[in-house]
Amino acid sequence: MKCTLIALLLLGGIGLLAFRLPLNSRPQAKLYPALAEYLKSAKKDLETIPASRRAELDKIALFIQNKRIMDKNANLLFVSGDNARRSLLAQVWAQVAADYLGVENVHAFSGGNIASTVAPTIQKTLEKIGFQVNPVTLSGQPAYELRFDEKQPALTLFSKVYTDQANPKNNFGLILTCDHTECPGPDGPTDRIAKSTVQGPAFKITLPYTPPRTAEGQANEAAVYDALNRQIATEMLYLFSNVH
């Protein structure tokens, strides 16, 4: 009788856990070996993040943590001028870091003031560290399917405006990867996005990165992109390591 009761309690607990698991959560990632080594190396750079940027990253971590406490998805929208470089890398590394560290119910998006095309160097930069990147066409536009493990669904990268239908419309975290000179009000995304959506972002912050486009066509182009990629990867690792 006691064994039967214990079994029923265990089954009930399992059923409760299954019921509480959100339908759109993502399993913890098991990264491709080369990519896992890259992140292992990036962890050594965590101490190099300036205190001022840590403070901003901690604010994003708190936003995510509060969403998780309420059993809600934490949607993060990274925005830059043309959604071709910085905001795309931030989207990639936010999703990878969240999945790698087992932070569930995080969904990363990106957009720009305008839509252009994904910078070709982005593909090369990600491929060389272990991502699988496959060129595809999306609604007649060049795009990339990005994989970082065998089980996770591919991330589709393409340049789009921040109000694109693929992006969240309300209660999301808005992270500007451009500074005030590139994303100014009243015409910048901070103000426009609030006017063009029902509720707009629940959280807004500026986390600017130096635009790499100035190095394109130069001898140091690959090095500049590699450095930006490493910086964003390291900061996203720090961010999601501080979500409790």
pLDDT of residue 236: 99
For residue 75, the number of C-alpha atoms closer than 13 Å in the C-beta half-sphere is 15
Give domain status of residue 135, yes or no.
Answer: yes
pLDDT of residue 182: 72
User: What domain range is 114 assigned to?
Assistant: 26-241
- Report whether 201 contacts 194 (CB < 8 A): yes
Give domain status of residue 1, yes or no.
Answer: no
CA 94-96-99 angle, to 5 degrees, is 105
Give domain status of residue 5, yes or no.
Answer: no
Q: What is the pLDDT along the chain (244 residues), one digit of tens a residue?
A: 444 444 433 334 433 222 233 435 555 678 999 999 999 999 999 999 999 999 999 999 999 999 999 999 999 999 998 999 999 999 999 999 999 999 999 999 999 988 999 999 999 999 999 999 999 998 888 999 999 998 888 999 999 999 999 999 999 999 999 877 777 554 555 555 545 543 578 889 999 999 999 999 999 999 999 999 999 999 999 999 999 8
pLDDT of residue 9: 38
pTM to 2 decimals? 0.85
Q: Please count the structural domains in the chain.
A: 1
Q: What is the CATH classification number for the domain harbouring 67?
A: 3.40.50.2300
pLDDT of residue 13: 40
- Output the CA torsion sign for 91, 165, 173, 56: positive
Give domain status of residue 127, yes or no.
Answer: yes
Give domain status of residue 15, yes or no.
Answer: no
pLDDT of residue 132: 97
Give domain status of residue 4, yes or no.
Answer: no
pLDDT of residue 151: 83
Give domain status of residue 8, yes or no.
Answer: no
